[in-house]
Structure 1
Amino acid sequence: MKMLMLFAALCGLAMATPFDQAAYALQETAPMGLVDELTALGYTKLVGLIEMCVLDFTESASRIPHELFYSIDSALTHQTDASNLFLSRTGPFTIFAPNDDAIAVLTPDMMNNMTLLVNILKAHVIEGKVMTTMIRDNLMAGSLLKGVQIRINMNVGWQRTYIAANGAQIIMFDKEAKNGVIHGMNRVIYPIPMGSLVDAMKMIPGLSATMKLIEFAGIESALTGEGPFTIFAPCNNAWMKIPYANVTALMANKTALTELLTYHVAPGAWYSTVMRPGTVIPTLEGKNVLFNPMTPEHLRDVKPMPVYLYVNDAEVILADQSVANGVIWVLNDVITKPSYLPK
């Protein structure tokens, strides 16, 4: 009887204090600031970098005793020079957040270079709130790092849509925070996409042969244009596989050389992370190349996904390197023109 009376009293109390479902839902789902949301999502290494660089996206100004958040130099010296401002307290911001595995790839030298780390972090953030419903292929948005754009590419498939930011695949979408939105990625955007294709290739010693041929053919200026372009650039070793007499003959025939080189350049920004196997890519020369990832027979039992990338029959040794006006792929072979590809 006492138990029945206690139960009735509790029921009466519950009826006297009605359950506020809206308040409960708000308590459970109210977003936190970007840093707190990143922490809750498990992006602990990125949060560590943000804290190290004094890049705090929350609305708490406890780390920086000013109304706005500043770059590392300004924060450390407590200056308020407007030229150093790069984050406001309120936002909103969109952050393309590398996960812990991606951050772990950063070398000790990079981790000890505070200026570089600040620039890398800025290159992952844009002002404003960009949800995936707003994204279209080849969308460009200026990052917080002056002069650096984030290029977003997407490939809409039958079962899945692939989206990448400067070639880094987005694996988590639209996690909203109080002052912005988070998209999770499996790679750091690095090198920072600055300069043209030509600027970048001139700084890569292993592409010096391709660069000299481009200059000799007179197509250098075309590759410094707005683009975007994707260049499938044979490394020096690739040219050494071709008989010297053939290379000499090419240099004596600029028309043939130009045709060969422009067969290695495609209009548009092409990233392996958003392309399906078998994608046919049109080139500036007028014919197509085939994106052809494959897994060797002896690895197929243990490696179900493609582990080697090819363009036609040329092996890719480095893909998806973003620059301001396109993408660089480095090949270990010169691309040949197979007869089975559509014109």
Structure 2
Amino acid sequence: MKLLIVLVSLSLAYALPQQIKMSNIELPVSYSGVGEDTILDLAQTLKLTKLFKLISKLNFQETLFVQGPFTLFAPTDDAFAKLSSYSLRRLENDYELLTDVLLYHVAGTEIYSDKMKNEELVKSRLGSAQVRINIYDKVITVNGCPISKPDQAVPNGVIHLIDYVMFPIPNGDIPSVVASHFDFATLLEAVRVAGLTETLEGDSQTLLAPTNAAFHKLPFDTLKRIMGDKEMLTKVVENHLIKGTVFSVALQNGGQVTTTLNNKLPISIDADSGEIKIGQATVIYPDETTTNGVVHVIDTVLLPPSLDAMTSELSLENSADALKIKTLLDMISKLNFQETLFVQGPFTLFAPSDDAFKALHPYDLHRLQYDNELLTDVLLYHISGTKMSSDQFSNEQLVPSRLGSTEIRVNVYDEVIAVNGCPISKPDQIVSKGVVHVIDYVMYPIPIGDIPYMVASNFEFSTLLEAARVAGLMEKLEGGPYTLLAPTNAAFRKLPYDTLKTLMGNNDMLTKVIKNHMIDGTMFHVALKDGEEITTVNGDKLPVTIGPNGETKIGEAALDFYDVTVTNGVLHVIDTVLIPKDLHVHMVRPIEE
């Protein structure tokens, strides 16, 4: 016998006075032949007793089902048992509310589970209200309620059993829900100041919503500063927003969620209590369904990693020990430069660590400590007059420093960000009026010329300079950005005399040789990887070899000195001339010692 006949018969049975036995019910012709035992058995199997009691209470059988097609998302008896006693009493005693809830669980189309799509919105029979489908691996949910038994086919439709009642019915988007709860007053103000209300009105989003108490857990000065800085506030709110609708059923212990700020938050779920933590925040109320996603109420504000320092005093001086930049701050204090450099913000400080200063040659460190004019220039060169977080950097970007018209070159190599070849080891340290990026080396000497200038200013490159001039490549070397593998005079002298003489007298050959030492783009040493190849402007591929102590070879040439920064790229000083493959390399022999 068809399942719908059984369910409707069961509903009719509940609608009659209890003293009338089901076996005595005079069923409509289309429902006849359904016995009491069969109905009770199937009702027990499907566990839909409570749902059909409520349906029959409104005499809604024909309205909901007979006029198909339909899809019923049917809460089980256990689903109703999970409702609070207050919510259940409301449904049982408020016929208007019950009508809305029942209509919301029914769609006017027949949808089987294999036709459902993630983030699909299905129109219910309650006006324009929609239910949201989500698919998490093999779990299908409607408004976050898992479908435990899908595809129960009946005449005119299909029934999907769900583990929770979809109640309350969502009647607003995320901003509406935030605005309607006084406990989100601080969050609402944060969203407004950050100008993110329109963003939160978009579809398919998850908001981790800190309560007022969560915000008040922050130190007063920290909260005051964040609420008064639109840029900071935007980052904080974006760190609570997740693209896509992630109901609690999708959260897995040991997993993670990624915020729109691209910060990954770990998930932990207590095996005994089921308590969910996302990052450092406990979810105190999950699955507040909205028309455009879901809200999870949390007890802690999730500051982005770049703002973690905000929980302490927001000053560069008080960050010195934690960031290990005490040497730098001592030099700044020596010049009484604090106000000039920082108070007048905004600023970005590329801050050499204490270890970076230790890595300087003793002579260079001595000069910085005793030559105040030089120290002033070096400090100004490490600061930009704009506030730039790491996510604003791009490869080969030139950032103006506070030292006249000088610029700092940013390079992005996979996950490594470098400035003038110095890796940023601690990015995005937010301080008052600016941001600090801790770097592993001091950007010294300050680059003051391009590649031709650097070659011309060092006598050890006199042969290379003449070769570039004869080949007519001086103008090209002024462009870029380029990486030049710069052979020393000694490297040229390693070539047989006749070979060198032939090269220096042949413009075409010399051009090929020089271009075989040029690489498009700025490749500082930090970008070189053992076993990889780099391609020269000439088209040759040169293997990179890096030994256990950092000794580096490119092709057959060892790097005597690397990362000579220039205004249009970088030089690496090499000990061997790299002859292109298409020249007569068999005629080129090093001088035997």
- Checking the alignment, whether the CA contact within 8 Å between 1:229 and 1:269 is kept in structure 2 is yes
Aligned residues: 278
State the Cα distance separating 1:320 from its structure 2 match.
1.4
Give the Cα–Cα distance (whole angstroms) in 2 for the partners of residues 177 and 336 of structure 1: 51
The structure 2 residue matched to 1:262, chosen from 481, 503, 515, is 515
Give the corresponding residue for 1:218: 472
Of all paired residues, the percent bearing the same amino acid is 27
> Which shifted more, 23-32 or 195-204?
23-32
Aligned pair 1:276/2:558, yes or no? Answer: no
State the Cα distance separating 1:245 from its structure 2 match.
1.1
The TM-score normalised by the length of structure 1 is 0.75
Give the corresponding residue for 2:319: 37
Aligned pair 1:294/2:294, yes or no? Answer: no
The TM-score normalised by the length of structure 2 is 0.45
- Checking the alignment, whether the CA contact within 8 Å between 2:342 and 2:434 is kept in structure 1 is no
Give the corresponding residue for 1:249: 502
**Secondary structure of residue in 2 paired with 1:292:** strand
**Secondary structure of residue in 2 paired with 1:25:** coil
- Checking the alignment, whether the CA contact within 8 Å between 1:31 and 1:176 is kept in structure 2 is no
Give the Cα–Cα distance (whole angstroms) in 2 for the partners of residues 150 and 335 of structure 1: 30
Aligned pair 1:112/2:370, yes or no? Answer: yes
> Which shifted more, 137-146 or 107-116?
107-116
- Checking the alignment, whether the CA contact within 8 Å between 1:168 and 1:186 is kept in structure 2 is yes
* Amino acid paired to 1:236: N
* Amino acid paired to 1:327: V
**Secondary structure of residue in 1 paired with 2:503:** helix
Give the corresponding residue for 2:328: 46
* CA deviation profile, 1:90-141 (whole Å, cap 9, x unmatched): 4121111111121132331342221111111111111222111112211211
- Checking the alignment, whether the CA contact within 8 Å between 1:38 and 1:44 is kept in structure 2 is yes
CA 1:260/1:242 → structure 2, altered by over 3 Å: closer, same or farther?
same
> Which shifted more, 97-106 or 166-175?
97-106
Give the Cα–Cα distance (whole angstroms) in 2 for the partners of residues 264 and 292 of structure 1: 17
CA 1:20/1:179 → structure 2, altered by over 3 Å: closer, same or farther?
same
Give the corresponding residue for 2:388: 130
> Which shifted more, 280-289 or 259-268?
280-289
* Amino acid paired to 1:247: L
* Amino acid paired to 1:126: S
Give the Cα–Cα distance (whole angstroms) in 2 for the partners of residues 144 and 318 of structure 1: 28
Give the Cα–Cα distance (whole angstroms) in 2 for the partners of residues 90 and 30 of structure 1: 21
* CA deviation profile, 1:46-95 (whole Å, cap 9, x unmatched): 111111222215xxxxxxxxxxx2xxxxxxxxxxxxxxxxx462412111
- Checking the alignment, whether the CA contact within 8 Å between 2:352 and 2:438 is kept in structure 1 is yes
**Secondary structure of residue in 1 paired with 2:449:** coil
- Checking the alignment, whether the CA contact within 8 Å between 1:309 and 1:315 is kept in structure 2 is yes
Give the Cα–Cα distance (whole angstroms) in 2 for the partners of residues 274 and 93 of structure 1: 27
Give the corresponding residue for 2:66: none
- Checking the alignment, whether the CA contact within 8 Å between 1:140 and 1:149 is kept in structure 2 is yes
Give the Cα–Cα distance (whole angstroms) in 1 for the partners of residues 219 and 366 of structure 2: 42
**Secondary structure of residue in 2 paired with 1:242:** coil
State the Cα distance separating 1:36 from its structure 2 match.
3.2
- Checking the alignment, whether the CA contact within 8 Å between 1:312 and 1:336 is kept in structure 2 is no
Larger radius of gyration between Structure 1 and Structure 2: 2
**Secondary structure of residue in 1 paired with 2:436:** strand
* Amino acid paired to 2:437: H
Give the Cα–Cα distance (whole angstroms) in 2 for the partners of residues 210 and 22 of structure 1: 63
**Secondary structure of residue in 1 paired with 2:219:** helix
Aligned pair 1:330/2:583, yes or no? Answer: no
Give the corresponding residue for 1:314: 557
CA 1:180/1:88 → structure 2, altered by over 3 Å: closer, same or farther?
closer
State the Cα distance separating 1:321 from its structure 2 match.
1.5
- Checking the alignment, whether the CA contact within 8 Å between 2:323 and 2:353 is kept in structure 1 is no
Give the Cα–Cα distance (whole angstroms) in 1 for the partners of residues 398 and 518 of structure 2: 21
Give the Cα–Cα distance (whole angstroms) in 1 for the partners of residues 531 and 410 of structure 2: 21
**Secondary structure of residue in 1 paired with 2:492:** helix
* CA deviation profile, 1:237-259 (whole Å, cap 9, x unmatched): 11111111111011121100110
Q: Which runs of 5+ in 1 are unaligned?
A: 1-18, 58-68, 70-86, 296-305
* CA deviation profile, 1:142-201 (whole Å, cap 9, x unmatched): 111112111111111xxxx11110011111111110111111111011121221111112
Give the corresponding residue for 2:263: none
**Secondary structure of residue in 1 paired with 2:318:** helix
Give the corresponding residue for 1:153: 411
